[in-house]
Protein backbone atom coordinates (compact mmCIF):
# COMPACT_ATOMS: atom_id res chain seq x y z
CA UNK A 1 0.00 0.00 0.00
CA UNK A 2 1.03 3.63 -0.43
CA UNK A 3 3.21 5.07 2.34
CA UNK A 4 2.60 8.44 3.93
CA UNK A 5 5.11 11.12 2.86
CA UNK A 6 8.04 11.59 5.21
CA UNK A 7 7.08 15.26 5.65
CA UNK A 8 3.84 14.11 7.31
CA UNK A 9 5.43 11.54 9.60
CA UNK A 10 8.64 13.28 10.68
CA UNK A 11 7.17 16.13 12.81
CA UNK A 12 5.12 13.61 14.82
CA UNK A 13 8.03 11.27 15.43
CA UNK A 14 10.37 14.17 16.19
CA UNK A 15 7.91 15.56 18.77
CA UNK A 16 7.64 12.15 20.44
CA UNK A 17 11.42 11.84 20.65
CA UNK A 18 11.79 15.34 22.09
CA UNK A 19 9.15 14.52 24.70
CA UNK A 20 10.96 11.31 25.67
CA UNK A 21 14.51 12.69 25.68
CA UNK A 22 13.53 15.66 27.82
CA UNK A 23 16.20 18.16 28.85
CA UNK A 24 19.16 15.81 29.45
CA UNK A 25 18.68 12.97 26.97
CA UNK A 26 18.74 9.26 27.80
CA UNK A 27 20.79 9.35 31.00
CA UNK A 28 20.30 5.62 31.59
CA UNK A 29 21.68 4.48 28.24
CA UNK A 30 24.40 7.12 28.16
CA UNK A 31 25.68 6.02 31.57
CA UNK A 32 25.58 2.28 30.91
CA UNK A 33 26.51 1.87 27.22
CA UNK A 34 29.87 2.81 25.72
CA UNK A 35 29.64 5.23 22.75
CA UNK A 36 31.42 2.86 20.35
CA UNK A 37 29.25 -0.18 21.10
CA UNK A 38 27.26 -1.56 18.15
CA UNK A 39 24.24 -3.87 18.06
CA UNK A 40 21.61 -5.41 15.83
CA UNK A 41 18.03 -5.75 17.03
CA UNK A 42 14.85 -7.28 15.63
CA UNK A 43 11.28 -6.05 15.85
CA UNK A 44 9.25 -9.16 16.65
CA UNK A 45 5.49 -9.64 16.84
CA UNK A 46 4.31 -11.35 20.02
CA UNK A 47 0.78 -11.99 18.72
CA UNK A 48 -1.14 -12.22 15.44
CA UNK A 49 -2.17 -8.99 13.77
CA UNK A 50 -1.66 -6.54 10.93
CA UNK A 51 1.36 -4.27 10.80
CA UNK A 52 1.21 -0.48 10.41
CA UNK A 53 3.63 2.28 11.40
CA UNK A 54 6.87 0.74 10.19
CA UNK A 55 8.11 4.02 8.74
CA UNK A 56 7.52 5.72 12.09
CA UNK A 57 9.81 3.17 13.74
CA UNK A 58 12.42 3.68 11.04
CA UNK A 59 12.32 7.45 11.51
CA UNK A 60 12.54 7.19 15.29
CA UNK A 61 15.95 5.56 14.97
CA UNK A 62 17.17 7.60 12.02
CA UNK A 63 16.38 10.87 13.82
CA UNK A 64 18.19 9.67 16.95
CA UNK A 65 21.26 8.60 14.96
CA UNK A 66 21.46 8.80 11.15
CA UNK A 67 23.99 5.97 11.13
CA UNK A 68 21.37 3.47 12.29
CA UNK A 69 20.20 1.26 9.44
CA UNK A 70 16.71 -0.27 9.36
CA UNK A 71 16.35 -3.24 7.02
CA UNK A 72 13.87 -5.92 5.90
CA UNK A 73 10.97 -3.87 7.22
CA UNK A 74 7.63 -5.50 6.43
CA UNK A 75 5.26 -3.19 4.54
CA UNK A 76 2.20 -1.83 6.28
CA UNK A 77 -0.77 -4.12 5.81
CA UNK A 78 1.27 -7.29 6.28
CA UNK A 79 -0.35 -9.96 8.45
CA UNK A 80 1.92 -11.41 11.12
CA UNK A 81 1.87 -14.27 13.60
CA UNK A 82 3.68 -14.68 16.92
CA UNK A 83 7.40 -14.69 16.26
CA UNK A 84 7.26 -12.89 12.93
CA UNK A 85 10.27 -10.59 12.46
CA UNK A 86 8.92 -7.22 11.29
CA UNK A 87 12.34 -5.74 10.59
CA UNK A 88 15.87 -5.21 11.85
CA UNK A 89 17.80 -2.16 13.06
CA UNK A 90 21.57 -2.03 13.39
CA UNK A 91 24.04 0.61 14.49
CA UNK A 92 25.20 2.32 17.69
CA UNK A 93 23.64 0.61 20.71
CA UNK A 94 23.00 3.93 22.40
CA UNK A 95 20.84 5.16 19.56
CA UNK A 96 18.98 1.85 19.25
CA UNK A 97 18.04 1.86 22.92
CA UNK A 98 17.21 5.56 23.11
CA UNK A 99 14.83 5.31 20.15
CA UNK A 100 13.32 1.97 21.14
CA UNK A 101 10.31 3.18 23.10
CA UNK A 102 9.15 5.77 20.56
CA UNK A 103 9.61 3.27 17.72
CA UNK A 104 7.57 0.65 19.56
CA UNK A 105 4.92 3.14 20.69
CA UNK A 106 4.12 4.13 17.12
CA UNK A 107 4.44 0.63 15.70
CA UNK A 108 2.36 -1.04 18.42
CA UNK A 109 -0.40 1.55 18.44
CA UNK A 110 -0.81 1.84 14.68
CA UNK A 111 -0.62 -1.93 14.25
CA UNK A 112 -3.36 -2.16 16.86
CA UNK A 113 -5.52 0.18 14.77
CA UNK A 114 -4.84 -1.90 11.66
CA UNK A 115 -5.55 -5.14 13.50
CA UNK A 116 -8.85 -3.90 14.94
CA UNK A 117 -9.90 -2.75 11.49
CA UNK A 118 -8.95 -6.10 9.96
CA UNK A 119 -11.05 -7.89 12.56
CA UNK A 120 -14.22 -6.11 11.48
CA UNK A 121 -13.31 -6.11 7.79
CA UNK A 122 -12.86 -9.86 7.91
CA UNK A 123 -16.11 -10.42 9.80
CA UNK A 124 -18.16 -8.54 7.18
CA UNK A 125 -16.24 -9.66 4.11
CA UNK A 126 -19.23 -11.66 2.86
CA UNK A 127 -21.27 -8.46 2.57
CA UNK A 128 -20.89 -5.36 0.40
CA UNK A 129 -20.29 -3.14 3.45
CA UNK A 130 -16.92 -1.58 4.20
CA UNK A 131 -15.62 -0.52 7.60
CA UNK A 132 -14.71 3.16 7.91
CA UNK A 133 -13.03 5.28 10.55
CA UNK A 134 -14.30 8.55 12.06
CA UNK A 135 -12.82 11.84 13.33
CA UNK A 136 -12.54 10.30 16.81
CA UNK A 137 -8.77 10.21 16.54
CA UNK A 138 -5.98 10.94 19.01
CA UNK A 139 -5.06 14.62 18.57
CA UNK A 140 -2.10 15.01 16.25
CA UNK A 141 -2.18 11.40 15.01
CA UNK A 142 -5.12 11.54 12.60
CA UNK A 143 -3.14 11.05 9.39
CA UNK A 144 -1.21 8.11 10.88
CA UNK A 145 -4.30 6.46 12.36
CA UNK A 146 -6.30 6.80 9.16
CA UNK A 147 -3.36 5.32 7.24
CA UNK A 148 -3.43 2.38 9.66
CA UNK A 149 -7.16 1.87 9.05
CA UNK A 150 -6.47 1.50 5.33
CA UNK A 151 -3.61 -0.91 6.14
CA UNK A 152 -6.15 -3.04 8.00
CA UNK A 153 -8.51 -3.21 5.04
CA UNK A 154 -10.80 -0.32 5.96
CA UNK A 155 -11.63 2.93 4.27
CA UNK A 156 -11.36 6.54 5.40
CA UNK A 157 -14.23 8.83 6.30
CA UNK A 158 -13.58 12.56 6.04
CA UNK A 159 -10.20 13.73 7.32
CA UNK A 160 -11.49 16.96 8.85
CA UNK A 161 -14.24 19.51 8.94
CA UNK A 162 -13.16 20.98 5.62
CA UNK A 163 -13.33 18.11 3.14
CA UNK A 164 -17.01 17.07 3.32
CA UNK A 165 -20.28 18.17 4.88
CA UNK A 166 -21.69 15.96 7.64
CA UNK A 167 -24.89 17.43 9.07
CA UNK A 168 -25.43 15.91 12.53
CA UNK A 169 -28.45 16.03 14.82
CA UNK A 170 -27.37 19.27 16.50
CA UNK A 171 -26.90 20.96 13.12
CA UNK A 172 -30.42 19.86 12.18
CA UNK A 173 -31.86 21.18 15.44
CA UNK A 174 -30.08 24.52 15.14
CA UNK A 175 -30.98 24.96 11.48
CA UNK A 176 -34.66 24.19 11.93
CA UNK A 177 -34.87 20.79 10.27
CA UNK A 178 -33.23 18.41 7.81
CA UNK A 179 -34.40 20.17 4.67
CA UNK A 180 -33.38 23.60 5.92
CA UNK A 181 -29.95 22.34 6.98
CA UNK A 182 -29.35 20.59 3.67
CA UNK A 183 -30.39 23.60 1.58
CA UNK A 184 -28.14 25.91 3.60
CA UNK A 185 -25.18 23.58 3.17
CA UNK A 186 -25.82 23.07 -0.53
CA UNK A 187 -25.87 26.82 -1.10
CA UNK A 188 -22.63 27.28 0.83
CA UNK A 189 -20.25 24.62 -0.52
CA UNK A 190 -18.77 23.95 -3.93
CA UNK A 191 -20.16 21.51 -6.44
CA UNK A 192 -17.54 18.84 -5.67
CA UNK A 193 -18.28 18.68 -1.94
CA UNK A 194 -20.37 15.71 -0.77
CA UNK A 195 -23.18 16.22 1.74
CA UNK A 196 -24.17 13.56 4.29
CA UNK A 197 -26.97 13.95 6.83
CA UNK A 198 -27.53 12.03 10.07
CA UNK A 199 -30.99 10.54 10.67
CA UNK A 200 -32.31 8.65 13.67
CA UNK A 201 -35.54 7.21 12.27
CA UNK A 202 -37.36 6.37 9.04
CA UNK A 203 -39.46 9.55 9.17
CA UNK A 204 -36.31 11.67 9.00
CA UNK A 205 -34.94 9.43 6.27
CA UNK A 206 -38.06 9.94 4.16
CA UNK A 207 -37.55 13.71 4.41
CA UNK A 208 -33.85 13.36 3.57
CA UNK A 209 -34.63 11.37 0.44
CA UNK A 210 -36.41 14.40 -0.97
CA UNK A 211 -33.35 16.64 -0.68
CA UNK A 212 -30.82 15.05 -3.03
CA UNK A 213 -28.18 14.48 -0.35
CA UNK A 214 -25.27 12.20 -1.20
CA UNK A 215 -25.34 9.99 1.89
CA UNK A 216 -27.44 9.09 4.91
CA UNK A 217 -25.82 8.45 8.29
CA UNK A 218 -28.14 5.92 9.93
CA UNK A 219 -27.37 6.43 13.60
CA UNK A 220 -27.99 3.83 16.31
CA UNK A 221 -30.43 1.77 14.25
CA UNK A 222 -30.77 -1.97 14.77
CA UNK A 223 -30.41 -4.46 11.91
CA UNK A 224 -34.14 -4.66 11.13
CA UNK A 225 -34.55 -0.88 11.02
CA UNK A 226 -31.41 -0.63 8.91
CA UNK A 227 -32.84 -3.17 6.48
CA UNK A 228 -35.96 -1.06 6.09
CA UNK A 229 -33.85 2.06 5.64
CA UNK A 230 -31.77 0.41 2.89
CA UNK A 231 -34.99 -0.63 1.12
CA UNK A 232 -36.30 2.94 1.31
CA UNK A 233 -33.09 4.39 -0.09
CA UNK A 234 -33.05 1.86 -2.94
CA UNK A 235 -29.59 2.90 -4.08
CA UNK A 236 -30.37 6.63 -4.34
CA UNK A 237 -27.68 7.56 -1.82
CA UNK A 238 -24.89 5.98 0.19
CA UNK A 239 -26.00 4.39 3.45
CA UNK A 240 -23.72 4.47 6.48
CA UNK A 241 -24.46 2.78 9.80
CA UNK A 242 -22.91 4.09 13.01
CA UNK A 243 -23.32 3.91 16.76
CA UNK A 244 -21.21 1.79 19.14
CA UNK A 245 -20.54 -0.97 16.63
CA UNK A 246 -18.47 -3.94 17.83
CA UNK A 247 -17.01 -6.91 15.93
CA UNK A 248 -20.02 -8.92 17.15
CA UNK A 249 -22.73 -6.45 16.13
CA UNK A 250 -21.01 -5.50 12.86
CA UNK A 251 -22.09 -8.68 11.08
CA UNK A 252 -25.89 -8.31 11.32
CA UNK A 253 -25.55 -4.59 10.63
CA UNK A 254 -23.54 -5.25 7.47
CA UNK A 255 -25.98 -7.98 6.45
CA UNK A 256 -28.76 -5.39 6.55
CA UNK A 257 -27.31 -4.06 3.28
CA UNK A 258 -25.63 -0.79 4.25
CA UNK A 259 -22.68 0.48 2.24
CA UNK A 260 -20.50 1.58 5.16
CA UNK A 261 -20.06 0.90 8.85
CA UNK A 262 -18.24 3.68 10.71
CA UNK A 263 -16.48 2.71 13.94
CA UNK A 264 -14.95 5.25 16.33
CA UNK A 265 -13.07 2.86 18.60
CA UNK A 266 -10.78 1.80 15.75
CA UNK A 267 -8.80 4.95 16.45
CA UNK A 268 -9.75 6.30 19.88
CA UNK A 269 -9.59 2.99 21.78
CA UNK A 270 -7.47 0.61 19.72
CA UNK A 271 -5.63 -2.07 21.70
CA UNK A 272 -1.88 -1.97 21.17
CA UNK A 273 -0.43 -4.89 19.21
CA UNK A 274 2.27 -6.53 21.31
CA UNK A 275 5.57 -6.02 19.49
CA UNK A 276 8.95 -6.50 21.16
CA UNK A 277 12.56 -5.61 20.46
CA UNK A 278 15.04 -8.49 20.68
CA UNK A 279 18.79 -8.62 20.23
CA UNK A 280 19.62 -10.35 16.96
CA UNK A 281 22.80 -12.09 15.85
Catalytic positions, written as ranges: 101, 136, 168, 198, 219
Asked if residues 223 and 246 have their Cβ atoms less than 8 Å apart, the reply is no
Query: Residue 64 and residue 29: Cα distance in Å, rounded?
Result: 13
Q: How far apart are CA 29 and CA 31, in angstroms?
A: 5
Q: Print burial letters for 203-213: b (CB count within 10 Å at least 16), e (below 16).
A: ebbeebbebeb
| Whole-angstrom distance, CA of residue 50 vs CA of residue 47 | 10
Tell which residue, 15, 161, 163, 33, has the closest CA to residue 102.
Answer: 15
Length of the chain: 281
Amino acid sequence: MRSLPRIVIEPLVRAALLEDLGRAGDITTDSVIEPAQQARVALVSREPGVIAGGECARLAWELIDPSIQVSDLLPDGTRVTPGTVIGYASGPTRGLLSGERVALNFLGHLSGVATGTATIAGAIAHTKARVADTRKTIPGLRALQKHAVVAGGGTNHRFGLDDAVLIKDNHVAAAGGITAAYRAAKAHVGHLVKIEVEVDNLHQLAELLQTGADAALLDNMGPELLRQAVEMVAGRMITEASGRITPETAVPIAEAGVDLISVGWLTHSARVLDIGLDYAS
